[in-house]
A and B are shown apart, each in its own frame.
Chain A
């Protein structure tokens, strides 16, 4: 039996059921060299600053002898906060990210999302903006994202 078929797909929430300030379930990951290698190959970003520990000891692009995570991996995990909270079918329409501190191997990153505001356009393109912050184990912000997600309205729903 394929147990995967027992999985119930999480329904995308209605825009009307969200409000500014709602928090999404955090996503936590540890930056390991294996994770970086797998992400680097999957993304084709094979820059040695991520992929080659020996080169990093010599080059120290970020002032550390360690390899660092890809910014795009950080962006991916920040986007995944929405996919895991709103379900895999969530309609992400914009992702903007800034990377504020390198994430060397060994760090643990927690990505926390919060609904910032709700845009009711009444034209089928209603969306929410979720701010996602990625912080390391010291509480320092390593990345921030603004993610726009198009959401359905409840039938007959009026102004939010």
Chain B
């Protein structure tokens, strides 16, 4: 248990949460930085995100969803179109953060001091429990606006049948250099 995570470690409930690096500040130097990141190179993430029921349930419950199609797996088995609980549209966030772990393209979304100005998600097919998703990702833009450093990730998620499921563009405002990030990482 890290002093940076001890205030929420007791709430961990899924296998993915247990296996995920929860100390955000421990790995900041292994992530990409605004001023040095490679722009415009679409890359295949080597990992596969398997959509598990417990992760979807944790997301839906965190948002206070109460409809049994979102939070009751037994009910969903007999009433949902695919027999599994429904995936909230913005569960994309979980998938994005899992793919963007230190050492992988797009890891700058884990920058201490980052701010979130705008996001765009387009769905081509609903994500379902059991899907095995792969990700193509690029840093598609990097720009200054009103003295702030903006950066955009563009990602495409594809399922186990090669079907495009989701395309999203996520923009953050970042501290632009490693020294600027260090200011926040060591605060």
Residues of A in contact with B (beta carbons under 8 Å apart) = 2, 4-5, 7, 9, 29, 35, 37-49, 51-53, 55, 58-59, 61-62, 70-73, 75-77, 79-80, 83-84, 88-89, 91-99
Contact = CB atoms under 8 A, between A and B. Distances in A.
Given A9-B79, A48-B4, A98 B118 contact: yes
A72 B86 contact: no
26 contacts: A2-B72, A4-B68, A5-B79, A7-B75, A35-B62, A41-B17, A42-B59, A42-B61, A43-B62, A44-B16, A45-B93, A46-B23, A46-B24, A48-B112, A51-B5, A51-B24, A59-B113, A80-B65, A83-B67, A83-B88, A93-B122, A93-B123, A95-B119, A95-B121, A96-B120, A97-B120
B58 A41 contact: yes
B75 A2 contact: yes
B184 interface: yes
Contacts of A55: 4, 25, 187
Interface in B7-66: 7-8, 11-13, 16-17, 20, 22-25, 55, 58-59, 61-65
B116 interface: yes
B98 A72 contact: no
Nearest to A57: B187
B97 A41 contact: no
Given A43-B97, A51-B24, A55-B187, A5 B75 contact: yes
A37 B7 contact: yes
B115 to A, nearest CB: 7
A91 B97 CA distance: 24
Given A47-B112, A96-B119, A76 B88 contact: yes
A37 B88 contact: no
A73 B92 CA distance: 11
